[in-house]
Structure 1
Amino acid sequence: MARPKVDLPPRDAVRALCDPQGRVAVRVTPGARQQALEIADGQLRAKVRAKPTDGAANDAVLALVAQAFGVATSRCQILRGATSREKLIGVDF
């Protein structure tokens, strides 16, 4: 059985959350049932299926954010919060 497509907000809405340096704050929920990216209370929230072991959840978050911005995963990096649910991710447009 194929996995359903990931729910992503509109690209313009996600870009509006970025500061002028291309940084965006993300609240992460690891071990979720479905992967999704949503905007709630003016904040980007990522739900990923991966567990927070060996950086798997961080990799999944970077892939999800990159997909939302329409850039390669290598153009996104975690600037702050590698071991926290609150992350600051830099995106190189």
Structure 2
Amino acid sequence: MPSEQLPPEGRVRIRVRPGKKKDVLFLSGEEFSADLSAPAREGAANDRLLRNLSQWLAWPVSKIRLEKGQASRLKTIVIAGMTGEEIRKRLLASVRASPNKD
């Protein structure tokens, strides 16, 4: 019986800083970081991160989920339908396209 090929599922780690003035994605060394305008309360920052990732990746939010780090600043995000390399390329393009963070 042939095995059904599953779509790719990539992961990315992002360090978040909630409670900032605006939402910004940037590189800090080799690590992606995100300033979020949402507070770190009741999952608001996690929800904002997933919505922002949807925009930054140009990918449906329904395909993006928080795998690890619900109460931590370091989050592991899983994106269905993309490889880790594709995720990194899209996030790098988004960082380059955005104005510098304050």
When normalised by structure 1's length, the TM-score is: 0.74
- Tell me, which stretches of 5 or more residues in structure 1 are unaligned? 1-19
Return the index of the structure with the highest Cα Rg: 2
Q: Structure 1, residues 4-31: CA drift from partner, whole Å, max 9, x if none?
A: xxxxxxxxxxxxxxxx841000000000
C-alpha displacement of 1:49? 0.4
Displaced runs of 4+ in structure 1, greater than 6 A?
A: none
Q: Distance in 1 between matches of 2:71 and 2:61?
A: 19
Q: Distance in 2 between matches of 1:64 and 1:86?
A: 16
- Tell me, which stretches of 5 or more residues in structure 2 are unaligned? 1-7, 82-102
Aligned position for 2:67: 79
Instruction: State percent identity of aligned pairs.
Output: 32
The partner residue of 2:23 within 35, 57, 80 is: 35
When normalised by structure 2's length, the TM-score is: 0.68
- Cα root mean square deviation, aligned: 1.2
Aligned position for 1:26: 14
The partner residue of 1:69 within 57, 67, 75 is: 57
Tell which has more relative contact order, 1 or 2 (C-alpha 8 A, sep 6+).
2
Structure holding more helix per residue:
2
